Structure 1
Amino acid sequence: MFAFNPPVKTRNQSNSKSEAKSFAERIIYWTIVLTPVWWLLGLQTIIYPVVSAFLLIAGLRLDKLIKKSLPICNWAWLGMVFAALWTNIFGLETIGFEALKTAATLFTLFKGYLMIFACMTLPFWHRIRVQTITRAVSLMATSYSILLTIQLLILFGLGPQEHFLPPLARLIPGEKTSLMVKFAEIQPFFGIPLPRTDLYTADPPILGVCGLLCFFMCLSETNKNWRKLALAGSFISLIISQSRLAWVCFPLVWLIIYCFRSGLARQAYLWVISIISLFAAVLSLTIKDLIASPLATFNSARADSSKDREYIVSATIDAWKESPWLGWGIMEKTASWGNGAFVLPLGTFSSYAQVLYVHGIFGFIFFVTALISTLCSFWQPAIKGNQLCQRAFGCLIALYLLIHATNLTWMVIYFWFFFIWLGAILSQLQQQGLDVTEWEELSNRF
């Protein structure tokens, strides 16, 4: 273990070093910063997985696999890729490998689990620094404020506008709904009409997830002005998304970070159980009643949406029970309600139900292993005082709650940079091997 004493840099020295980006850093940096351009062109679902796959292949060297071992969580995500592929093949075989369905299934795997593995592995095969990703995300998050202001001016000045399909998106085969550029519109929330928008994403709740993750990533931005703008943009996008679960997860992440910094992390579960039991005793309620009451209020904010999600998830679980071990392999079955007015594929919402339905218990074991191993990778450094790992740990807890309401393989394309950030932190840990005191000094700089 070597001593690490970061030299004090002047502003000019810091700027000159930040400009000396590696080839991979430059590509990732500008891909993140130019997010509004890809959105307006309709290229988001193509460019992010292509960039991550290209850099992964470009950085693949046998000596790197031998000399620089990847964390267990990276291998777990690769295992999930192969588990998903195996069950996908079984499912596609039942329909004779129909061309369009096969292409759609494999592309979903490509822009889902494979992209997660690629993003978390890139920092181990290329020089990709945490501060580079943070600066790029800060600039992108700042654009949230600009675009949201423009959308609200259009909404209140010109009224609701028709969505449109970008020109290049027309060339991409398959479903086009997620490629539409949508404007802000008024939707009821607790019966109050309020503006809501998707912005760069395919669905408002995904914008809430992005806003939450970007907020805690941008806390590490060293430039005070960019940090303020990025935090403002992230918070505004979180609010306007009207994502109830993201709102709940936002203070939860702060609570987790506080527990780490106050030394309560090891006893956190005891505090939570004790506090819940205390409230239940004081109010003469059972634990079930205590949870049910706020949950009913939570669901009443967007009652129709909550009922639709509950119906689809329930139908997904019922379909999984028909093929519990290997699942169905593909998302082919649908559920309809309202006399056929609404039709959605099973597995549309909860990632946990979707993995069971598509990949069965076999795939679910790999999925849970990947989630837990990723979380555990940040636990020990977080306990030892690494602030970056504390934020990463809190964000992962929030993400694991959020994917219960929205499919991970559908929305990960919009926060792919989060997994590069995670990989960069783990790579930095591996390369520097800092002890607790040194990590505290380093993390305090961010």
Structure 2
Amino acid sequence: MSDTTFSTQTFTKYGFKLGNLSLAEKVIYWTIILTPLWWILGIQTILYPTVAAFLLVVRFKFDKIIKGSLPICNWAWLGMILVALWTNIIGLESIGFQILKTAATLFTLFKGYFLIFACLTLPFWHRIRVKVITRAVSWMSASYLVILTIQFLILFAIGPQKSFLPPLARLIPGDKLSLMIKFAVIQPFFGIPLPRTDLYTADPPILGVCALLCFFICLEESNRSLRKVSLIGCLAALLVSQSRLAWVCFPLVCSIIYCFRSGLARQAYLWVISLLTLFAAVLSLSLKDLIALPLTTFNNARADSSKDREYVVNATIDAWKKSPFVGWGFMEKTVSWGNGAFEMPLGTFSSYAQVLYIHGIFGFIIFILALVSTLCSFWQPAMFGNIICQRAFACLVALYLLLHATNLSWMAIYFWFFFIWLGAILSEVQQLNVTEWEELSNRF
């Protein structure tokens, strides 16, 4: 038996065979797996939307749009692109379309809302299977362990290292802070010095979001060994991110999935409200006080960070009120505190405040419509017992909660594969006929 035959049989035996990959699957598969390489080169923010745009253009035909059956959520995200572009143009016109500001603003739209729309649409125009995305994300999640090990060895053996900007990153328009290669550092958490890093992302909280989403994607991995390693990698990344909100969302996702499987999805909100009221009555506390107690502990874990975020969000809302309908069009103004020691652009924290500030009420309505329609797309198959749709629905709920602390248009680039995964699920679900839905319903 030749070495090639042995390798192929071994590869198949342990559940690694994916069958013949389409062009889109090959491109996406290796783009996800080689994430550490793109991170080191500093080209993540330009590569991912370019790949998505390329694959979209390759199979673009007006018939696909006119006669195609794209879900409502895809059209909602397309609407968000158009509204965002409209408000961007209004804002840029007020400053005379300065070259650098115009390039940075349009590039943010390209790697934000356009990327989301493209990723959700690609599986409807190309053959992109869920298991291919799952396998690629599993390998990438396994690489978390490798990079974390290297960073911790550097931190404890050599000491903290300064971040640096890769040479290729200098060619990309916009803020360069998100392109910096950063090393692990020691930061206090509940007063305890612990290592913290952001790996392939621009900020540790974004790593927490990525790790959370990757964990539930990797649960579907068919190879047991790879699944275990990838899940450990996700948990490790989630832990070192020190993202409090991501930690809270992890059991929330598990709870939502459990509610689907136990038939409590329709009654879950009643149970939650009832239990909170019962505990409040037993402890002789008002519902507001009951929520305030854990929230205070939650904020005290990183008290300065929580106060800074709240201050920036409040300043963003105040600025939005001066241009409520179409917003300001781009992130321009800043807010400072601590006698000028700290300064941040308005709209830095909270996607909801940012959308109001940049795109106004019109943009905010379309944004909420896009979020809700995407979530609703998974409700029916989840209720019929589709496990992957249940996980997708729960992950979206968590993501929408996490958007309160981080900008979607800024961090979407780091979990672009999540939207392709969602699109692939919707594409496969759409292919199921009524009989198969009934079989799924009876099975679960």
TM-score, length of structure 1 as denominator length: 0.95
Determine the C-alpha separation between the residues in 2 that align with 1:312 and 1:167: 32
CA contact (8 A) 2:104 2:173 kept: no
Can you list the C-alpha shifts for 1:322-362, whole angstroms capped at 9, x where unaligned?
Answer: 11111111111110011111111100000000001111111
Choose 307-316 or 318-327, whichever is displaced more.
318-327
Determine the C-alpha separation between the residues in 2 that align with 1:74 and 1:273: 33
Determine the C-alpha separation between the residues in 1 that align with 2:175 and 2:368: 29
- Correspondences of 1:100-249 after superposition (within 5 Å): 100-249=100-249
Q: SS in structure 2 opposite 1:266?
A: coil
Give the partner amino acid of 1:405. A
- CA-based RMSD of the aligned residues comes to 1.7
Residue 73 of structure 1 aligns with which residue?
Answer: 73
Q: SS in structure 2 opposite 1:161?
A: coil
State the 1:440 CA deviation.
7.0
Can you list the C-alpha shifts for 1:373-406, whole angstroms capped at 9, x where unaligned?
Answer: 0000000100110000000000000000001000
Tell me if 1:420 matches 2:420: yes
CA contact (8 A) 2:103 2:174 kept: no
Structure 1: state its 5+ residue gaps: 1-9
Give the partner amino acid of 2:252. L
Give the partner amino acid of 2:28. I
Change (3 A) 1:131 1:438: farther
Determine the C-alpha separation between the residues in 2 that align with 1:62 and 1:367: 25
Determine the C-alpha separation between the residues in 2 that align with 1:228 and 1:16: 14
Residue 294 of structure 1 aligns with which residue?
Answer: 294
Determine the C-alpha separation between the residues in 2 that align with 1:202 and 1:114: 20
Change (3 A) 1:16 1:183: closer
Determine the C-alpha separation between the residues in 2 that align with 1:173 and 1:261: 46
Q: SS in structure 2 opposite 1:215?
A: helix
Give the partner amino acid of 1:300. N
Residue 262 of structure 1 aligns with which residue?
Answer: 262
Structure 2: state its 5+ residue gaps: 1-9
Q: SS in structure 2 opposite 1:18?
A: coil
Residue 322 of structure 1 aligns with which residue?
Answer: 322
Q: SS in structure 2 opposite 1:155?
A: helix
Residue 3 of structure 1 aligns with which residue?
Answer: none
State the 1:432 CA deviation.
2.7
Q: SS in structure 1 opposite 2:193?
A: strand
Can you list the C-alpha shifts for 1:177-218, whole angstroms capped at 9, x where unaligned?
Answer: 111111100000000000000100000000000000000000
Determine the C-alpha separation between the residues in 1 that align with 2:166 and 2:441: 47
Can you list the C-alpha shifts for 1:396-446, whole angstroms capped at 9, x where unaligned?
Answer: 00000001000111100000000000000000011233634544799x9xx
Residue 3 of structure 2 aligns with which residue?
Answer: none
Determine the C-alpha separation between the residues in 2 that align with 1:85 and 1:62: 21
State the 1:173 CA deviation.
3.4
Determine the C-alpha separation between the residues in 2 that align with 1:266 and 1:436: 19
Change (3 A) 1:100 1:292: same
Residue 22 of structure 1 aligns with which residue?
Answer: 22
Can you list the C-alpha shifts for 1:97-149, whole angstroms capped at 9, x where unaligned?
Answer: 11111111100000000100000000000000000000000000000011001
Determine the C-alpha separation between the residues in 1 that align with 2:441 and 2:417: 25
TM-score, length of structure 2 as denominator length: 0.95
Change (3 A) 1:59 1:230: same
Determine the C-alpha separation between the residues in 2 that align with 1:89 and 1:112: 16
Choose 284-293 or 213-222, whichever is displaced more.
284-293
Change (3 A) 1:188 1:14: closer
- Correspondences of 1:297-316 after superposition (within 5 Å): 297-316=297-316
Tell me if 1:397 matches 2:382: no
CA contact (8 A) 1:385 1:436 kept: no
Residue 335 of structure 1 aligns with which residue?
Answer: 335
Can you list the C-alpha shifts for 1:6-28, whole angstroms capped at 9, x where unaligned?
Answer: xxxx9849969614100000000
Determine the C-alpha separation between the residues in 2 that align with 1:14 and 1:145: 21
Determine the C-alpha separation between the residues in 2 that align with 1:372 and 1:174: 30
Determine the C-alpha separation between the residues in 2 that align with 1:16 and 1:187: 39
Residue 34 of structure 2 aligns with which residue?
Answer: 34
Change (3 A) 1:438 1:158: farther
CA contact (8 A) 1:386 1:436 kept: no
Give the partner amino acid of 1:250. F
Determine the C-alpha separation between the residues in 2 that align with 1:200 and 1:232: 17
Q: SS in structure 1 opposite 2:422?
A: helix
Identity of aligned residues (%): 73
Q: SS in structure 1 opposite 2:175?
A: coil
Give the partner amino acid of 1:197. T
Determine the C-alpha separation between the residues in 2 that align with 1:208 and 1:48: 20
Change (3 A) 1:219 1:55: same
Determine the C-alpha separation between the residues in 2 that align with 1:199 and 1:441: 43
Q: How many correspondences in the alignment?
A: 434
CA contact (8 A) 2:87 2:326 kept: yes
Determine the C-alpha separation between the residues in 2 that align with 1:128 and 1:364: 31
